[in-house]
Amino acid sequence: MKLEQIHIPVLLKEVLEYLDLKPGNIVFDGTLGGAGHTIEIFKAIAPTGKLIAVDQDSQAISTASRVFENCNNVFLYNGNFADVKIIINNFQVKEIDAFFLDLGLSSIQIESSGRGFSYIRDEKLDMRFNTKSNFSAYNVVNEYSEDELREIFLKFGEEKYSFNIARNIVLSRKTKPIETTGQLNEIIEKSIPIKERFSKRGHPSKRIFQAIRIEVNSELSNLQKAIDEGFEVLKPGGRMVIISYHSLEDRIVKNKFSNFSGKCTCPDDLPVCVCGAKKQAEILTKKVVKPTESEILINKRASSAKLRAIKKL
C-alpha cells in the first residue's frame, strides 16, 4: 500500500531536520494521531529501521494499521505514551535512536470522534483519549466540587473567570446533570462578561475545555513521565523532539530539557550547587521553533505550535 499523509503534519520539515534520521534507526513516536509525521519518519528510516508508534485512541491505531498494513517494521501500540519502557520492551527493544511527540489533537479527534473535544460542536461530554477508561469529562463536570473545578480551571486553563465558571457549573447541575458540550458552553459564556466573551482571548470555552481535557487524560503528568523514560532509553547521540501547543506543556518540555542540559536549579543565593546538575544533553533549539506564516495560512492549527529538540550526549 502506498503511504500517503491522511492529515497535515505540523512543522514536518523541522521535525525531520532535528530528528536527523538514518536508515536503520529505531524511533519511538508516542503520538501517532493522523499518522502525518509517522509516515514521513518511517520513510526516513526505511527499509531497515524500526518504528514504534503509540496512541491511546483505538480509532487512530485502526486507521494506521490499514495505512501500514504491508510495513513489517512498523509496530503499533494502543496505550499511553508515558509507558515508554514497557512499550518498547514489548517489541524486544531496549534503546532507541529518536523520540518524538506531537502533543496536538489530530483533526480526526476534533472533528469526527464525537467525544466532545471541540467546543464548536454539541456532543456528549467525554474527552477521553482512551475510550476504555471509566473516567470522562462528564465525571469532572458533574462530580468535582466547586473548589476542585476552580483549581483545575486556574491550573490547567489559566482562566481568570474560574471562580464564576466553577460556581455556575455547580449551581446548574443541581437542576439536572450537564451532559453535553453545548450545555457546558452556555454556562461558560454566561460566566464571562459580555465584552470579553469573544475578545482577543478567543472562544470563551477554549481554556475550560483545555483544562478539563488535561484533567481527564492526566496529560501533564504523563508528559513528564514520557520525557524522563524516553530520555533514559535514548541512545547516546539520539535525539528527542517535542511539539507542544500551550504554555503548560511547553514549560514542562523547556524545564526538562534545561535539566538534561545540566543547568543548575539551585537558588541564586546558594554559594555552591547542591542540586546535582549534570550535563547529559545538548539543546539543539536555542530558541523555540515556530511555524512560518505560510504554514499557518495552510494549517491554522499550527499557529500555537512550539518545537524543542535535544541531543543526548
pLDDT value of position 6: 57
Q: pLDDT tens for residues 205-251?
A: 999 999 999 999 999 999 999 999 999 999 999 999 999 999 999 99
Asked whether residue 97 falls in the same domain as residue 225, the answer is: yes
Does any domain span residue 290? yes
Asked whether residue 104 falls in the same domain as residue 228, the answer is: yes
Q: Which of 44, 30, 28 is nearest to 97 (CA)?
A: 28
**Predicted confidence (pLDDT) at residue 3 exceeds the cutoff of 60:** no
Q: Which of 113, 3, 14 is nearest to 51 (CA)?
A: 3
- C-alpha cell belonging to residue 292: 512560518
Asked whether residue 60 falls in the same domain as residue 29, the answer is: yes
Q: Mean pLDDT score of the chain, rounded to an integer?
A: 93
Band of the pLDDT at 305, cuts 50, 70, 90?
A: very high
pLDDT value of position 265: 77
Q: Report CA-CA distances (Å) from 52 to 26, 106, 275.
A: 8, 18, 34
Query: What are 78's strand-pairing partners?
Result: 55
Radius of gyration of the chain measured on its C-alpha atoms: 21
Q: How far apart (Å, rounded) are the C-alpha atoms in residues 298 and 6?
A: 15
Identify residue 191 by its one-letter amino acid code: S
Count the residues in the chain. 313
Asked whether residue 128 falls in the same domain as residue 167, the answer is: yes
Asked whether residue 87 falls in the same domain as residue 18, the answer is: yes
191: domain range? 109-217
**Predicted confidence (pLDDT) at residue 270 exceeds the cutoff of 90:** no
- C-alpha cell belonging to residue 98: 529518536
Mean pLDDT of 27-35: 94
pLDDT value of position 200: 67
* Domain end (from 186, 201, 217): 217
pLDDT value of position 107: 63
Segment among 100-109, 154-163, 217-226 with least mean pLDDT: 100-109
Mean pLDDT of 70-98: 97
Asked whether residue 226 falls in the same domain as residue 290, the answer is: yes
Segment among 19-28, 105-114, 205-214, 242-251 with least mean pLDDT: 105-114
**Predicted confidence (pLDDT) at residue 272 exceeds the cutoff of 90:** no
- Count of CA atoms in the C-beta half-sphere (13 A) of 276: 0
Mean pLDDT of 272-294: 92
Q: pLDDT tens for residues 55-77?
A: 998 888 999 999 999 899 999 99
Does any domain span residue 209? yes
Does any domain span residue 4? no
**Predicted confidence (pLDDT) at residue 11 exceeds the cutoff of 50:** yes
pTM value surpassing 0.85: yes
Mean pLDDT of 259-283: 86
Asked whether residue 153 falls in the same domain as residue 287, the answer is: no
- C-alpha cell belonging to residue 237: 547521540
Residue 312, phi then psi, degrees to nearest 5: -75, 135
Residues of the chain with pLDDT > 70, as a percent, come to: 95
For residue 189, what is the domain's CATH number? 1.10.150.170
Asked if 213 and 127 touch (Cβ cutoff 8 Å), the reply is yes
Asked if 140 and 212 touch (Cβ cutoff 8 Å), the reply is yes
Asked whether residue 209 falls in the same domain as residue 228, the answer is: no
pLDDT value of position 112: 66
Query: What are 77's strand-pairing partners?
Result: 54
Number of domains present in the structure of the chain: 2
Asked whether residue 159 falls in the same domain as residue 284, the answer is: no
pLDDT value of position 277: 79
**Predicted confidence (pLDDT) at residue 170 exceeds the cutoff of 90:** yes
Per the model's pLDDT, the better-predicted residue between 1 and 30 turns out to be: 30
* Domain end (from 217, 241, 265): 217
pLDDT value of position 281: 98
Asked whether residue 115 falls in the same domain as residue 89, the answer is: no
Asked whether residue 211 falls in the same domain as residue 145, the answer is: yes
Q: How far apart (Å, rounded) are the C-alpha atoms in residues 212 and 218?
A: 10
For residue 245, what is the domain's CATH number? 3.40.50.150
* Domain end (from 159, 191, 217): 217
Query: What are 27's strand-pairing partners?
Result: 51, 98
Does any domain span residue 5? no
pLDDT value of position 1: 42
Asked whether residue 196 falls in the same domain as residue 276, the answer is: no
Give the chain as a 3 state SS string.
Answer: CCCCCCCCCCCHHHHHHHHCCCCCCEEEECCCCCCHHHHHHHHHHCCCCEEEEEECCHHHHHHHHHHCCCCCCEEEEECCCCCHHHHHHHCCCCCEEEEEEECCCCHHHHHCCCCCCCCCCCCECCCCCCCCCCCCHHHHHHHCCHHHHHHHHHHHHCCCCHHHHHHHHHHHHCCCCCCEHHHHHHHHHHHCCHHHHCCCCCCCCHHHHHHHHHHHHCHHHHHHHHHHHHHHHEEEEEEEEEEECCHHHHHHHHHHHHHHCCCCCCCCCCCCCCCCCCCCEEECCCCCECCCHHHHHHCHHHHHCEEEEEEEC
**Predicted confidence (pLDDT) at residue 124 exceeds the cutoff of 50:** yes
